[in-house]
Amino acid sequence: MPGVRLGRARLDAIIAQAEREFPNECCGFILSGDGVEEVRPIRNIQNEKHAENPQAFPRDARTAFLMEPREHLAALNEIDRRQLKLAVVYHSHPDHDAYFSATDRAQACSFDPAEPDYPDTAYVVMSIRDGRFARAAAFVWDSARREFVETELEIAP
């Protein structure tokens, strides 16, 4: 399984976002292509949805994320317009380990539970403990196993 290569500046940017948004989960995308690697933070609206309808959204932003739809769509439109790639979907786990949870899988496979929405996209999960970065882990889709598996996260200069 090929690893995920991420530039140090991009990792530092998403770590800073995760620490800033602690104790809530942060989320966003990393866009890439033709020498480009750009971080696109996307606002987590889980707390708003939970406040509006706790039955439909039983978890708050300390244990879940929901990307703001307009920001999510704008990033996808930018990918199409600039002919980039959705390289990474990232989010944080406040006071939890960096693992790919069942909820993460369900969100990654939102249209079909057996297939990811973005099969060529890596997922990076960051563990933020007491407001400080602890660990990041990368996950990719293994089509043979039909599951997300952890892979090496290589940090480039």
**Mean local confidence (pLDDT), 50-61:** 97
Work out the percent of the chain whose per-residue pLDDT is above 90: 94
All structural domains of the chain: 4-133 (3.40.140.10)
Q: Strands (DSSP E) along 57-152, which ranges?
A: 85-94, 122-129, 132-142, 147-151
Q: Which residue has the tokens 């249209």?
A: 111
* pLDDT for 24: 98
Tens digits of residue pLDDT in 92-127: 999 999 999 999 999 999 999 999 999 999 999 999
**Considering the entire predicted model, what is its pTM?**
0.96
CA-to-CA separations, 38 to 8, 21, 78, 94, in angstroms, rounded: 12, 19, 11, 23
